[in-house]
Amino acid sequence: KAGVTQTPRYLIKTRGQQVTLSCSPISGHRSVSWYQQTPGQGLQFLFEYFSETQRNKGNFPGRFSGRQFSNSRSEMNVSTLELGDSALYLCASSLESTSAQYFGPGTRLTVT
């Protein structure tokens, strides 16, 4: 069974731009969660989608948004990028919200 895939793997953007990251979960998994990982803040929960509905949201500004499609693939969008948005963005999928999470390799976003 293929694992969680994330595209692109690396991205360089300038301040003020917007970016869209993509995540394809393991086949059959309906829950997709997004996390931001930085050296200073560690791993922080962004949001979780289940069956195309956002179930939970972390403490991030409204510039961070996401969606999930009927095939469970998910996208995350960050608008008006700031330097502090530079991070590794990780996506995790699970069968149900309370099941084991399986992570993708991440997208490394650099904002200049």
Q: How far is the CB of 111 from other proteins (least distance, A)?
A: 18
CA 14 to the chain's CA centroid: 19
What is the C-alpha to C-alpha distance for residues 38 and 84, in angstroms, rounded to an integer?
9
CA distance 99 to 22: 22
Sheet bearing 74-78, strands edge to edge: 5-7, 19-24, 74-78, 64-68
Q: Which stretch binds other proteins (CB under 8 A): 18-26, 38-46, 66-74, 75-83?
A: 38-46
The tokens of 54 are what? 């956002």
Which range, of 19-27, 62-70, 72-80, 99-107, touches other proteins by CB under 8 A?
A: 99-107
* Closest distance of CB 98 from other proteins, Å: 4
Q: Toward other proteins, which CB reaches closer, 45 or 79? A: 45
Q: Which residues bind other proteins (CB under 8 A)?
A: 4, 33, 35, 42-45, 48, 55-56, 58, 88, 90, 92, 97-106, 108
